[in-house]
Homo-oligomer: A and B are copies of this chain.
Amino acid sequence: MKILILSADGFEDMELFVPYYRFKEEGFDIDVASKKRGTIDGKHDYEIEANRSFDEINPEEYDMLFLPGGKAPSKVRKEDAALQIVRHFIDRNKPIVTICHGPQIMISAGVVQGRHMTCWPEVAKELKEAGAIYEDKEVVVDGNIVSSRMPDDLPYFLREAMRKTQVAISTPL
């Protein structure tokens, strides 16, 4: 199981690290990609090494995409290479799990039309305008997409994200 995280400076620390450590607990491989390789900083002063840049990612190598929130998605959504990665997961029906502001990246990739999703409350308007069917719930699952609203939703998010990893393992893509 190989998971790709797309992020940037200003990530929401819990939203990135809680799933990150959870996936590591399971022994999954994780790459963190940003515009450039190097350390990226969270809103709460935690940091993580982006060991890949967006443009060196071959999305074929990954089983699941994780888009955490915070201020990072507003940067990631401006990068064509990142949006191409998102479209690969949608085209191949591979799992995308996202929380908070993470869905902004999917909006910019043009992949939310007709999909049931949730997000940080302030992103809801934009998500609906992009054609998604917004639901104000701890976690929303629509096929390969799992979305949550905020750090307090993490237990629900983890439950459904882990379910997607099990499906991905049992049905190789």
Contacts and interface: CB of A to CB of B under 8 A. Distances in A.
A38 to B, nearest CB: 18
Contacts of A158: 21-22, 25
Interface stretch (A11-19, A83-91, A112-120): A11-19
A24 interface: yes
B13 A44 contact: yes
Given A44-B44, A44-B46, A154 B21 contact: yes
- Please tell me the size bucket of the interface on A: 10 to 19
Given A44-B44, A44-B45, A44-B46, A155 B14 contact: no
A143 to B, nearest CB: 22
Chain A interface SS verdict (over half): helix
A22 B44 CA distance: 20
A29 to B, nearest CB: 12
Interface string A141-153: 0000000000100
A148 to B, nearest CB: 11
A92 interface: no
Contact of A14 (B17, B24, B25, B162): B17
